[in-house]
Structure 1
């Protein structure tokens, strides 16, 4: 069975991946729901049990993202570890540069997020816009339920589920597997990265955060293109999610405009200036990452 579809057309490999995602999503959701009913019965809803919601999130992330990526790599390559970019512990200098890149990219992410949130569709597209806002509200409601809880235990669990598990599972799928498949259609690395970044953002069904998530996805995609090591985009993804989890877990930080990214009009122009300087620094970071990757 190993490498069974290595020589198959790209469309067939993509179909296999999509099929595995659909099957994995269905089975993991059924398993998670069955486990919940086994523990709590049918007289209560999952929203009343944040710990169970976190476990359900973990199960569905593994089933929807990680397992399909691993199985696809095993079916479509005779070297699945190389296919996914599992190439050992990255250079410590690269680790520092990748985290620095995330920090410097953050002001641009905040500004594009503010721009994206102000998006309004034409009047004739009102039903579409209403649906998009419903999806956004639903995602925010779900996130708030996951984050809910005080103390070290909920924070630690959220870091495992929302930050680490999501980073590993989503990167293995989108950067590890999908970029490989898209790369069979085109040899243009920019096209590969941005197509996957668009799909990565669209998959979340949060359209008022589409642009910043797409930019993050592109950064993660370029990291694996340059370094051929999946653990660097996983690290960047984890760092981004972990900062968000920690910030949202503290009521004072959550309300701070510098942490939330919702910059007031009074501070907007200074923040734009900061973002420009950060972007220049980010460009230098990218240069060093590429140079280190070449000589690694």
Structure 2
């Protein structure tokens, strides 16, 4: 029997009172400024750091940063790497930073590199999927977005006239998806929660409208050198979605408001690392994210 979520009345969507109650139940568990901004500050020799917005929340004001490679030339294709759209997904944030620190320089001959390492800093600090208004940023990359996390990065790209050729969005699937975040979503929506099987291993989510399967395969081949690829469940699914092939599912990113659908990038993917696996550790998870980016860029550079 599933436990009742402690906020709200079963079967009734949350109103503002329940969302405020949820917000007040959150607490800061780590520091965006110590963990992330300090790393960004250490990368100024290789990148120009641009503040593209500020999130003004009751608990703190969070400056939002992108790293733009100093070798930027307008005639080169743009690579966008995003992390921390779901702030609790730690290796997404630190994988983006690690790529910027250790591998981005290997690709500036062919690409303009743009890295947004932590799109949801409040979520990072409180280890949350949502923002303080109980909105999921990774369902909010739409016109007139309800989530400022999404609106700010989309506004920056539009203002700069940046249209990526490649966009790799770094995520995790964790055990807390079933223990906390999916039950919270069902409570917020007034529906019945139906947990999915958490895949043990790395997998990819491709945009169904432009899957570029060989690109996805290149990502998976490189990641497999670092960590294991998730097997489908006994229904042939990952997170409740039919696999298209080993380690890969397709979702309609544009319709769902997913971050990987924020542009018309030809080559795009969402990575999913499983940090709770007994066969992985935090460093492996970070390296898997870096491998995903380099595997994708190696493939695209070969197509130029």
Please give the TM-score of this superposition, normalised by the length of structure 1.
0.28
**TM-score, with normalisation over the residues of structure 2?**
0.27
Larger proportion of strand = 2
Structure ranking higher in helix proportion: 1
Task: Tell me: higher relative CO, structure 1 or 2? Use CA pairs within 8 A at least 6 residues apart.
Answer: 1
Q: State the structure with more CA Rg.
A: 1
